[in-house]
Amino acid sequence: MDEIVQKIKIQYDDLYHSIPYTMVQATMENKKEYKIVFFNCEPRYVSLLPNQGAGKAFSSAPHTDLLKFAESALREFSAGCPLALVGSLMRVDIFQTKSGKLIVNELESLEADHHCPNRGIKKAMVDDEIRQYYETLLKNVLHQEHFKMI
Amino acid sequence: MKCETSDRKDPREDNDEEEQQNLISMFKRIHKFQTNTEIEIRVYQGAVSYGNQWIPFHQALSTIRSTSTIRIVSLDCREVNDNKLSEMDIINWLHQGDIHFIISHIHQGIINVNMNKLYTSIMKLHDHPGFPAGNNLQCPVFTQDKYKYLSVLMSKGLCNATLKVDFLPTMDYAALKLELQSYVIISYRHYCYCVYITLSHFYVDSLKKTMKDVAG
C-alpha cells in the first residue's frame, strides 16, 4: 500500500500543475482487449491494432455478444452524458474480468486508431462516413446566419 | 501556416478584453457577410504527423472549397511548443478565425499544459461558429477526462471500479492510504489480481502487485 501512495506522491510532485487528478484502477488478469469501432453509435467492426494486449481470446467472429455489449455501453454513456460527442468515430475498448464479465476499459474518439482486418475495406468505409460528417458540419456552419452570402 | 502569438497571461485577468475580442470577431463576420470576402477556418490539428481525422477532414474541405471562398489555417502541437503558446493563446487563435475546427485532443503533445486552464479557456468557443461548440466542448471523451466518462459507465456496472485521487493544493496521504485500502479490498473481491495507477490524460503508469500483497 505504501508503494502505491509513494507512486501517487511522485506523480503529484511532477504533475500537480498540469493535471487535476490521477486514478487507481484494478487491472485485468487477461490482457486481451477488443476495440470496437463505431460510427454514429452503430458498431462497424472489431479493430486490430498492433499494440493490442496479448491474452486469452474471449470472443470470435462475428463477435455478436461483444458488439451488443459495446453498443449498449455506448448507448448508456450517451444517455448518461447528453453533451457527449458520439455522432462520428468512436471506439469502445473492452476487457473481460476473471469472472467472465465484459467491461469497458476506455472510450476514444478523435484520435481513435481504427485499423481493420479484411484489407481495410471497412476502415475505408468508416473514413468516408467521417468525411461526410465533416462535410455536413462545414456546410451547416457556413450556412449560419452570418455566412449566408457564401 | 499563420500562427499569431501573444504574451503569456492568466485568462482570468481581463474579461473586458475578452468581450472586446468577441465583438471584433462578430463585427468581422458581419463585414464578411456584407462584402462576401474570404472566410477563414482555423483548424487545430494536433499531432505534427497527421492524426486520424486529418484525411477525412481535408477531403470534406476540398468539397466545400469548390463552392465557397474559404481559407484554411492550421496549428499543430509542435508550433504550440516552439512558440511557447499558452492555453489561452491556442483558444484565442481559434477564436480569432471566422470558424474553428478542433480535430484532435488539444492537450496531446503540448509541453507544460495545464489541463484545468485549457478546458476552462475552451469555453470561450461556446458561441463561436465551428466544431466542437456549445456544451459539446465539455464532452469528457473529447477532453479525455477519463474518470468523468468512466463514472457514467461505473454507475451502470459497465466498467471497472476506479478510484479518483484529486490533486489538491495540500494532500492528506494518510487519508488516501485508508481510502486505497478499502478500494483494494473491494477490487480484490470483485475484479482481478493486481493494481495499477493510471494517470489520466497522459499515460498509464503501472505498478503491478497482486491484490493480496497490496491489501497486505
CB-CB under 8 Å, B160 with A105:
yes
Q: How many structural domains comprise chain A? A: 1
Q: How confident is the model at residue B30 (pLDDT cuts 50, 70, 90)?
A: low
Find out whether B187 and A1 touch, Cβ atoms under 8 Å.
no
Domain contains B4: no
For residue B113, give Cα distances in angstroms to A18, A20, B108, B110. 6, 11, 9, 6
Q: Which residues of B touch A137 (CB under 8 A)?
A: 60, 131
Domain contains B132: yes
CATH of the domain at B42: 3.40.50
Res. B63: pLDDT tops 70: yes
Which residue from B132, B163, B188 is facing A24, i.e. has the nearest CB? B163
Rounded to a whole number of angstroms, the distance from the CA of A61 to the nearest CA of chain B is 22
Residue B182 C-alpha from the chain's centroid: 32
Q: Which of A53-57, A130-134, B109-113 has the lowest mean pLDDT?
A: A53-57
Are B133 and B35 found together in one domain? yes
CATH of the domain at A37: 3.30.470.20
Which residue from A19, A106, A109 is facing B142, i.e. has the nearest CB? A109
Closest CA to A5 of B11, B214, B204: B214
Q: How many structural domains comprise chain B? A: 2
**Full domain range(s) for residue B85:** 15-138
Q: Which residues of B touch A111 (CB under 8 A)?
A: 46, 51-52, 104-105, 108
**Full domain range(s) for residue A109:** 27-136
Q: Does B152 touch chain A (CB under 8 A)?
A: yes
> ipTM value of the model?
0.90
- pTM of the prediction? 0.82
Are B118 and B207 found together in one domain? no
Q: Does B77 touch chain A (CB under 8 A)?
A: no
Domain contains B195: yes
Helix (H, G, I), strand (E, B) or coil at A77: helix
Which residue from B33, B112, B214 is facing A4, i.e. has the nearest CB? B214
Are B87 and B63 found together in one domain? yes
Domain contains B159: yes
Are B132 and B168 found together in one domain? no
Res. A124: pLDDT tops 70: yes
Closest CA to A47 of A101, A98, A90: A90
Residue-wise pLDDT tens digits, B126-184: 999 999 999 999 999 999 999 999 999 998 999 988 888 999 999 999 999 888 888 77
Q: Which residues of A touch B177 (CB under 8 A)?
A: 1-2, 5
